[in-house]
Amino acid sequence: MAIKKFPLNNIRLEGSIELSGDKSISIRTILLSAWAHGISNLKNLGTGEDVKTALSAIRKLKINTRGNRDFLTIFGGGFGYDKLKSISLNMGNSGTCTRLIAGQLACSPIFSKLYGDKSLSQRPLRIKEVLENFNCNLKARKNNFLPLIIKGNSDAIQSNIKINKPSAQIISSAIFCAINSYGASEISAPNNSRDHTEKLLKFLKYPIIVKYQKKLKRIIIQGKKKINPISNYRIPSDPSSAAFLIVLAILTEKSNLTIKNVLCNKHRIKYINILKKMGAKIKIFNAKQYYGEKVCDINVKSSKLRSIRISPNDIPAIIDELPILFIAATFAKGSTFFPNLSELKIKESNRLQTMYENLKKCGVNCILKTNTLSINGKNKNFYSVDVPEIDSKKDHRIALSFLVLAAATRKKIIINDFSFVNISFPEIEQIIKKLKVKPNKVIVAIDGKVSSGKTSICKSLQKKYKGKAFFFDSGTLYRRLSLLHLRKKFKKINVGFLVKQSKKIKIADLSNKNLHSNEVSKLVPEIAKIKEVRSALLDIQRKIIFESKSDIVLVAGRDIGSKILPNNFSDLKLFIDAPIKIRALRRFKELKHKFPSKKLVFKNILAEIKARDKVDSKRKISPLIKVKSAHLISNHTKYISTPVMKIIKLIKKVS
């Protein structure tokens, strides 16, 4: 079991790239080239295991090939004409290859057995009855599952059949069987299914006619006709693989990514229309017709997403992209609703249940009902110190989707069976590293005891970075609430009032001089230990931090590294400390400067500092601690430049 720890921290994508060829078209061109009368040349084939399965299958069927995925020559001739009588083929995890090659073998002179891995063997084939209409002989486990035994019939006859499911694989299986059957066959099927097979055959001038009606399409195929070879076809970039990079670019600040020569068949890019409705900045340009398919370049930029209700009619066209759309919906404002998801239960895994369970593990608000899923953003558990272990169920699209979630958010996760991404997109990590540029911003989590000099150090750093750094003192939030509470003159602490006021706090409220009065300082420890108040301020603090546009974000407080920005949610963790008498003296001088008319006693300030240290370290909720990954910064001298320069070196190292 291959386990992968993520994230690739602090991602920003920039540049342009062409991806490996579309998996669906790669498999179709390989299988049709094997049947063609002549020599076919294919370029940029898909890199995934499913494509390798198709190549392995035709080679076992005695079809000669030369070259590799970059440039592959296939010497066509059909199956079974070299006196091959029987064959056993391992289909791995490829449902596409299984169904399509079954259509070919059913009308060949070969006795064949198709078997696959555990995942594929648990998925219903739904082709046995379809192919039996052509007078073919098939036997499947429980009539619908692998292994599939095919007693080939090279005298298969034409058929008129109706396919109710909008499945391109089932339709293509029937088309492949019709091609090698006597007479003209007619297939009626939903017109919202993918049509790569029909388009490719039309381009190759095979006698196929497709008539579109309101909800159905009628496909008429002449059997036993010549299949022309495929000459110098460069397979366009896979739009399903592109979906993971597109969503990653949308979710990461300042990303600007162009993916070139993407297959833009309308049945394959419906997910782009969905993302656009959610507010994604996506531009499709440089459109051209290529081997019967529309091919375009796609540019995507960082975007803020909003929730939508997906139409039930759109689901068949986005069935493969639903897992990554669930991830996108996690970051949309509001609740996104996905209906009509029954088909998602019979993919490589029960993707609906598996995605739901893993999203919940990560701290995502989602509700699963019968064949529907609602997703409404992240909850406090998303930022937990716990590292969720994602069970991918050996499903490549689930593993890829949670890679995107981790990379887009800095969230630390573990993905079990990550190696199964090799089925469709083995090079995703290398591509991200290639497109990754300098970090969007460096987030520095700074904890430390009261009056250890956090504020002075951060303000000095701001000056050094000349406007490129933003300083946020989380303690000012508690001071703001303390000040508001004092103004109301409550006899005892009013938790309801504090929670209500916490939702109204604005950045401009945090620069009031009175926030640092002695009265406020005395009340802050009491308010800071209230569970409801700390919980209410969590989202506000993270919103301020993550939405900052500055290159460097300095966040100071007493639970920043342990609670607000645990694990990888910050790039650098610091703990600033100094002897207690030095801290008390600093506090004394600070208050004397701000309130010169007030009579202050050093011993009282020292006692208050000791009491505050005790409260901060002993409180049950978010106590002040130095996390293991934090660098200890001593600020005991009168020269603040010493710790400042040390921190600058650390920031440079992480950026």
* Eight-class DSSP state of 616: H
Q: Give whole-number Cα distances, 188 to 11, 103, 131, 218, 265, in Å.
A: 47, 17, 14, 5, 21
Helix, strand, coil content of the chain in percent (nearest 5): 40, 25, 35
Q: Return all residues near 602 (Cβ < 8 A) that are at least 6 apart.
A: 584, 585, 588
500: left (phi over 0), alpha (psi -120 to 50) or beta: alpha
Distance CA 394, CA 400 (A): 11
Tell me the chain's radius of gyration from C-alpha atoms.
Answer: 31
Write down the catalytic residue from 22, 117, 320, 447: 320
> Which two structure tokens, joined as six digits, stand for 570?
């910050």
Alpha helical stretches, state H, 164-312: 168-179, 196-203, 239-251, 270-277
CB atoms within 10 A of CB 500: 11
**CA dihedral sign of residues 446, 451, 452, 454:** positive
Nearest by Cα to 558 from 472, 450, 481, 643:
450
Q: How many CA atoms lie within 13 A of 143 on its CB side?
A: 3
- Examine the residue annotation and report whether 571 is marked as an active-site residue of this protein: no
Q: How many CA atoms lie within 13 A of 106 on its CB side?
A: 32
Nearest by Cα to 651 from 412, 443, 433:
443
Q: Is residue 530 a contact partner of residue 615, using CB atoms and an 8 Å limit?
A: no
Distance CA 331, CA 349 (A): 24
Strands 442-448, 572-577: parallel, antiparallel or unpaired by DSSP? parallel
Distance CA 88, CA 154 (A): 18
- Counting beta carbons within 10 angstroms of the beta carbon of residue 156, is it exposed (0 to 12), middle (13 to 18) or buried (19 or more)? buried
Nearest by Cα to 109 from 79, 142, 145, 67:
79
> Which two structure tokens, joined as six digits, stand for 196?
């790569």
Q: Is residue 470 a contact partner of residue 554, using CB atoms and an 8 Å limit?
A: yes
* Eight-class DSSP state of 450: T
**CA dihedral sign of residues 257, 262, 264, 265:** negative
- Please, what is the Cα angle at 196 between 191 and 201, to 5 degrees? 105
Residue that the structure tokens 């929730």 belong to? 307
Residue that the structure tokens 């499945």 belong to? 167
HEC profile of 380-428: HHHHCCCCCEEECCCCHHHHHHHHHHHHHHCCCEEEECHHHHHHCCCCH
CB atoms within 10 A of CB 604: 12
Q: How many CA atoms lie within 13 A of 519 on its CB side?
A: 13
Annotated catalytic residues are 320
